[in-house]
Structure 1
Amino acid sequence: TLYHYPLTHTRNALKSNNIELPTQRAKLVNSYYHGTSPFPLSDLTLGKALQQTVEKYPDRECLVFCENDQRLTFSEFMIEVDKLAAGLLKLGLKQGDRIGIWGPSTRDWVVTQFATGRIGLILVNVNPAYQTSEMEYALRKVGCKAIISDVTYKTQNYYDMIRETSPEIDFCQEGQLKSHRSSCLENFIMMGEKHFPGTYRFSDVMNAGGPKEIAQVHNCQSSLQMDDPINIQFTSGTTGHPKGATLTHHNIINNALLIGNRIGFDDDHDRVLCQVPLYHCFGMVAGTLCMAVYGQTMVFAVAGYDPAASVRTLIAENCTTIFGTPTMYIDVCSHAESINAKFTGLTKGVMAGSPCPIEVIHRVDRVLGTKVQVAYGSTETSPVTCFMFRNDPDEKRTTTVGKALANTENRIVDVAGKIVPVNTAGEVQSRGYCVMVGYWNDKEKTAEAIDDQGWYHTGDIGEMDEEGYVRVIGRIKDMIIRGGENVYPTEVEDFLHTHPKIDDVQVIGLPDKRLGEEVAAWIRVKEGEKLTEKEIKEYCKGKISHFKIPKYIKFVTDFPITVTRKVQKFKMREEHSKELGL
């Protein structure tokens, strides 16, 4: 039997769960930990969760976009959401249809996220950095019937790329596209006020619905179910075509509730600077969904990412919480230090998206005045499976990714799939409400990722201690095997971050005819400082094992990164190997 618990009841139950005392459990022997909870999971859909929060905080500021000074209260936001939902119904879209969203973090993006959820459309997040072929593959893979797109972003001209895949758009009426290459696509909706041939303007769709369609939007709330798919997010695709991880209302609503609980959103009204992009699970779930279920104010400095704008916004908007990847935090700290910025209201920070070096966490605490909480997970798990408690001791907070969220199981297994003893390295696996339905239209890849017992295989190497804290060592595919010795890049990176002149560092393995692989380090030096290869190697001697000391050192001003500021190590390997003729 599924019980309906109002969101307010769930929030109250959550309040007792954001602090866990170390004495509550016996010490673990094997690397298995289940995050228990005193309350049931919520069965709310996205639309109902938002509606409850709007009724509770109608006049509270909900969204702030500083770049163009746009501000919305929860009641104003709800009106826009339902207007767009009604307009999409007027176009003939119905529950279960897939609709793409392509562009950076804007007001229209967030309105689209909740409007599609209100009427049961499945939102397909298209990476803003995708080129024509990648965009076309994603839309065709999931059979998108419509796409809402920005016009341009940075060097991207989205409309030109759309015309390249669907040249018929030049000669068709709005909503009547018959694309030879993307047969499902019928509707293109462009943000902004400029009208493009064959497309609807976003504002026109917002105004297309009438009382009949608004009534349909409200009626949809009783027919949608928690296990209905709501979102498809494409993985990075660094080892082939990207895969469309399919998530339900139940997946992401509950993950947002549990994330917010660990941060402390049920105790305070926070103003959150969200630096991570909305197309990514971090921004969409920890960001705007936490906004919707907790009534927090979500602040965006710019549509993309700019550390100087982040620093200005933290001060001007009196933000109390900041979200970002390690690279983003490094950039923000560097800029804050250069202008001696002070942040009087900032107390909370969430760091996730890639390995979080100990020295970076200490630096963020010192420069920003926060007590950073590290989160861990993947798109396929909605995304967070492990997270720090606010009262965790610094030793745990800086060296682990925390414990399992409530209602989530984590384990560490060997190559045979057997659970290993505590403090033993193996693959991190997760199970629970958070695991995706599967990869859209790809049973083979789904079966590789989720086994018959429901465990999601992360591909990460980690260890679990006696209390259930998980330490992520690195990606299985990134592990360097040098002459039979295993070298984990994260371990070497953490050590090199202790050098006072190093701003950021990334470690990779390069091919070697004798040893199989050699260690290479790409290093970004702090502004105004100088370093040599000899200094780096001397710094390492006697402090880390000789086989971990980088043979190759490259000084850089930047790293190849994704839109979410994740470093693309495969590109580093390709470039460095080519330079060295390996």
Structure 2
Amino acid sequence: MSLPLANPQTIPAALALSARRHAQQIAIDDGELKLSYAELERLSSNAGRALLALGLEPGERVAIWAPNGHHWLVAALGSLMAGAVLVPLSTRLKGGEAADILRRSGARVLFSVGEFLGSYYPDLLAGQPLDDLEQTIVLESARDGECTWQGFLDLAEQVPDEVLSQRMASLDGDSLSDLMFTSGTTGYPKGVLCAHGQNLRLFDNWGEIVGLQAGDRYLIVNPFFHSFGFKAGWLAALIRGATILPQRTFDAEAVLRRVEQDRVSFLPGPPALYSAMLDHPRRADFDLSSLRVAVTGAASVPPVLVQRMSEELGFASVVTAYGLTESCGLATVCRPGDDALTVASTCGRPLDGIEVRCVDAKGNPLPAGEPGEVLIRGYNLMKGYFNDLQASQEVVDAQGWLHTGDVGVLDERGYLRITDRLKDMFIVGGFNCYPAEVERLLMEHPAVAQAAVVGIADERQGEVGKAYVILRPGASLAADELIAWSRARMANYKVPRSVQFVAVLPLNAAGKVLKGELRAQ
């Protein structure tokens, strides 16, 4: 294959460049299996040639329904080499939900895990009408009669290297790379289309800002089917020449053990990941001295959590960021040298080439310090929703601004603080109450590990807040004590009227609290 340009415009070209720069560097460390960058390129090329042997045409969709692991990565990179559009499927989906996305995306090929989390995934699709799906490859523990991973790779012998090289040469920065369906926690999931060039530019910049570097050992707990695990995960690692350590599921003790055994230096994740590590009863038994960089982000990242991550987990750098699927997963990030208060209280400022503003209900820009809906404009915006022009036009206005549905505040420096989701806001006696603000305050209580607040119906006030709270190990706290503590620290309308202590909060695969499930309770 020809050498890639210094500034690759496609993900296969970025892989080729890393394979030249870091040929013998370990690209994937997946337990007993370790692949160098040169080996990763070779194996991915085989997967790409095998897809061409199946007759895959440029722009056709290939779906992956599997947990984090080397199979996922090789299947994804091979698909991109073959000019396919990648459709990652959440391993949390039930059979009917997965079938719906497969149908709507028109996926021709599916890479599926076999046995995982007590289910045999191909069986979950039994009886589902999938007219476009022509081939399913079972990555692990395939049953008799099914196409195995090795059987699939053997097809590569039918296609010369030159044919795959020609396919890759036909791609450019505007070629579509992925079709990611929104989580669906707030409504019908929509398919978000993004392109090679914008993903590479965005996450090369992100990697440079947060300090991801060649030789870093990056434990990717965030699922590969989510932007955080895909784009800020293995794609950023591939661009920068870091070692990818896939983690199939999140378990606090398993992560602590891997940090010690695998000398993990780079560990992004949602706030819930770090809270679980901090509050694990055996945390002190593990050597976490290799940890260097943490990147997190959510509507609620309390300052006390950032402080504890530095002091108790030993991170030299804790960075917050913000984005959504429709912005390729990223819009703002903190910068090296930002003070601790900035990191704890904001999610940074826009990356170069990206604009952010906050607007009122009529769309008018608001001055610094005034909360409003967050709008984003720049090269990072999606190419549109798949087969849904109307929805695309509803969320991206005529001036090119993406309406996020998030509520935020910009300070004088252009740093953004997300206060909540518009849909999560509830009104207490005429006052707008943003749950994330209340959650941040509740988590300042020394006994509180995590908190989630939702609005519930109230005859007098219309709605009031209810808090679901996880206590720190060994802590004791009564509901009326926490309510009294809150009254001394926040406006009356923000104080939760009731508190329920729970062992866990319902989370989606990205670590976000499922507020809908809490409201349903």
TM-score by length of 1: 0.86
350, 353, 366: which is aligned to 2:295?
350
Shift in CA distance, 43/209, structure 1 to aligned 2, threshold 3 Å: closer
Shift in CA distance, 261/5, structure 1 to aligned 2, threshold 3 Å: farther
1:543 match: secondary structure: coil
1:163 match: secondary structure: coil
1:192 and 2:157 aligned: no
48, 52, 76: which is aligned to 2:17?
52
1:451 and 2:367 aligned: no
**Number of the residue aligned with 2:357:** 411
How far residue 532 of structure 1 moved from its aligned partner, in angstroms, is: 0.6
Give the fraction of aligned pairs with identical amino acids, expressed as a percent: 29
Query: Do the aligned partners of 2:300 and 2:437 also contact (CA within 8 Å) in 1?
Result: no
Greater RCO between the two (CA within 8 Å, min separation 6)?
1
Shift in CA distance, 53/43, structure 1 to aligned 2, threshold 3 Å: closer
246, 256, 272: which is aligned to 2:193?
246
Query: Aligned equivalents of 2:127 and 2:298: distance in 1?
Result: 33
Query: Do the aligned partners of 1:559 and 1:567 also contact (CA within 8 Å) in 2?
Result: yes
Q: CA RMSD in A?
A: 1.7
Residues 123-202 of structure 1 mapped to structure 2, 5 A cutoff: 123-165=86-128, 181-197=129-145, 199-202=146-149
How far residue 338 of structure 1 moved from its aligned partner, in angstroms, is: 4.0
2:312 match: secondary structure: helix
Query: Aligned equivalents of 1:525 and 1:460: distance in 2?
Result: 28
Residues 289-300 of structure 1 mapped to structure 2, 5 A cutoff: 289-300=235-246
Residues 183-582 of structure 1 mapped to structure 2, 5 A cutoff: 183-197=131-145, 199-210=146-157, 212-265=159-212, 269-300=215-246, 302-335=247-280, 338-352=283-297, 355-370=300-315, 371-575=317-521
Query: Aligned equivalents of 1:498 and 1:384: distance in 2?
Result: 28
Which residue identity is paired with 2:336?
A: R
Which residue identity is paired with 1:100?
A: A
How far residue 507 of structure 1 moved from its aligned partner, in angstroms, is: 0.8
Query: Do the aligned partners of 1:255 and 1:285 also contact (CA within 8 Å) in 2?
Result: no
Query: Aligned equivalents of 2:427 and 2:225: distance in 1?
Result: 35
1:127 match: secondary structure: coil
1:535 match: secondary structure: helix
Query: Do the aligned partners of 1:132 and 1:164 also contact (CA within 8 Å) in 2?
Result: no
Which residue identity is paired with 2:183?
A: S
Which residue identity is paired with 2:270?
A: T
* 245-254 or 332-341: bigger deviation: 332-341
Matched length: 518
Query: Aligned equivalents of 1:378 and 1:566: distance in 2?
Result: 13
Query: Aligned equivalents of 1:340 and 1:458: distance in 2?
Result: 42
1:251 match: secondary structure: helix
How far residue 425 of structure 1 moved from its aligned partner, in angstroms, is: 0.6
Query: Aligned equivalents of 1:105 and 1:53: distance in 2?
Result: 21
2:193 match: secondary structure: strand
CA deviation map 1:491-549 (0-9, x unaligned)? 11111111111111111111123212111100011122221111101211221111111
Shift in CA distance, 317/43, structure 1 to aligned 2, threshold 3 Å: closer
Query: Aligned equivalents of 2:92 and 2:299: distance in 1?
Result: 19
Query: Aligned equivalents of 1:316 and 1:437: distance in 2?
Result: 41
Query: Aligned equivalents of 2:4 and 2:375: distance in 1?
Result: 29
Query: Aligned equivalents of 1:562 and 1:163: distance in 2?
Result: 25
1:369 match: secondary structure: coil
1:457 match: secondary structure: strand
Query: Do the aligned partners of 2:319 and 2:334 also contact (CA within 8 Å) in 1?
Result: yes
Which residue identity is paired with 2:260?
A: I
Which residue identity is paired with 1:65?
A: D
Query: Do the aligned partners of 1:236 and 1:242 also contact (CA within 8 Å) in 2?
Result: yes
How far residue 87 of structure 1 moved from its aligned partner, in angstroms, is: 0.7
Task: Specify every segment of 5 or more residues in structure 1 that has no aligned partner in the other structure, as ranges.
Answer: 8-41, 166-180, 576-582
